[in-house]
Structure 1
Amino acid sequence: MVQQSGSGRRAEIAGAGIGGLTVAAALAQRGWSVTVHERAPNLRTFGAGIYIWSNGLRVLKAIGAYDQATIGAHIGPVFHTRDHHDTTMEEIPINRPGGARLITILRETLINALVDACRRSGVDILTNSEAVGATPEGELLLADGSKRPADLVVGADGVNSQVRDSLDLMMYRKSLGYGAIRMLIARDDGDVCAGDRDRYIEYFTGTRRILYTPASATDLYVALCCASDDKQALQVPADRALWTQSFPHLAPLVARFGDAGRWDEFEVIKLKAWSKGRVAILGDAAHAMPPYLGQGGGCALMNGIGLAAAVADAPDVAQTLRDWEARERPMTEHTQDTAERLGDMNFWPDDVRSQVLKITGQCREIAMERMKTALHAPTATQAL
Structure 2
Amino acid sequence: MRRKSHLCFITVTMAVIFLVMFVMYTTLNFHTAASERKKDFHVVGRALYKLDVSWPKFPEYFTGQVFGVAVSHVAGVVYVAQRGENVPKVLMFSTDGEFLQAWNTSTLEMPHGIFVANASSDPTVWITDVGNGPYGHTIKQYSPSGKLLQVLGTAGKAGSSLTPLQFDQPAEIFVHDATGEIYIVDGDGGMNNRLLKLSKDLQMLWMHGEKGQGLSQFYIPHSVAVDNYQRVWVADRGNKRIQVFNSVTGDWLGSWGSCFTEDAPYSVRLTPDQKYLVVAQLNTNQVSLLEAPPVGIIGQCQVVSSIQLADDVKPHLVDLDQKSGALFVAEIGAQQAQRFTPMTLGNI
* TM-based fold match above 0.5: no
TM-score after normalising by structure 2 = 0.28
For the pair shown, the structure with the greater C-alpha radius of gyration is: 2
Considering fraction of residues, name the structure with more strand: 2
Considering fraction of residues, name the structure with more helix: 1
